[in-house]
Amino acid sequence: MKPIILNLSAWVMLPIMDGFAKYLSSTMPVLQITWSRYFFTVIIVLPVMLIFFRKNFKWTEKPKLQLIRGLLLFCANILFFYSISVISLAKALTLAFIAPLIVTILSPILLGEKVGFRRWAAVITGFIGSLIVIRPGFVEVNLASIAALGTGVLYGFYLIVTRKLHNSDHPLLTLLLTGVVGAIIGSMMMPSVWVQPTINQWYMMFALGFFASLGHLFLILSLKYADASKLAPFGYFEIITNIIIGFYFFNHFPDSWTFLGLFVIISSGIYILRREALNRSN
């Protein structure tokens, strides 16, 4: 029960971060919001590493993969924060849920895994689900929806790289290095986009890093007590917190088409996760 509670707690924390990002996006550049998420993650995680996990505070065995992982997540965050600045949290997250489908598409090429007919069918079904949400030809497709899909694509690559790092570096070290990569790249961009924050905005920018760190810490702790394949389906719980925040703070509630597309995407994603779990156990 402990790993499930920890995992679900993570999917409560991370949408809170998204809520702060959406609120800030009305008065602040998306790049600056993304930078603050990484900058304050480093400020929070580095002391934790030094005080409680000093023995794991060593240089990574795979620096190139860590750099690629950090770049992928940084770019994914930029796309996602841009998408939620225009469309609802629920719609953006629903489209980003194509990530497990992207992993299935890439796994034969990058991980050497075999993908059977049923998993390919699930990928096609999930793609149809994303089309239901966007409804091209019926509703004008905007750049924000494409950015949300792009988030899912980049996050799929990110998950592939994370799998490759799973047995080499400590998860907290990986979290810290991901933050460092994003903070450095973001800091180089800041002079061209910087808007002087108010005190309240500084608090919210710190909250971005705080809830990101807390969410990922809960994920790491949950994976300490249970296999990733068993916990993966609980990741879809994020949409519940997301819908609540979107409705309560932004007066956004998903329409019936979004719910239908969400159901199709989640169903195909859970099927793929189950097939992966079965293949690993055989």
Tell me how far the alpha carbon of residue 67 is from its chain's centroid.
Answer: 17
What is the domain partition of the chain in residue ranges? 2-281
pLDDT (average), residues 46-59: 76
| Per-residue pLDDT, 212 | 92
> 127: pLDDT confidence band, cut at 50, 70 and 90?
confident
pLDDT (average), residues 62-83: 91
**Does the pLDDT value for residue 71 go beyond 80?**
yes
Low-confidence winner among 23-27, 61-65, 139-143, 149-153 (lowest mean pLDDT): 139-143
Whole-number Cα distances in Å, 152 to 69, 158, 252, 274:
14, 10, 21, 20
Cα–Cα distance, 46 to 43 (Å, whole number)? 6
| Per-residue pLDDT, 40 | 95
Tens-place pLDDT, residues 16-28: 999 999 999 999 9
**Does the pLDDT value for residue 282 go beyond 60?**
no
| Per-residue pLDDT, 39 | 95
pLDDT (average), residues 184-192: 93
**Does the pLDDT value for residue 137 go beyond 60?**
no
Q: Taking each helix axis from N to C terminus, what angle separates 143-165 and 99-106, rounded to the nearest 10 degrees? A: 50
Tens-place pLDDT, residues 217-242: 888 778 777 666 566 677 788 888 98
| Per-residue pLDDT, 195 | 94
**Does the pLDDT value for residue 210 go beyond 90?**
yes
Biggest distance spanned by C-alpha atoms of the chain? 56
Tell me if 212 sits within 8 A of 41, measured CB to CB. Answer: yes
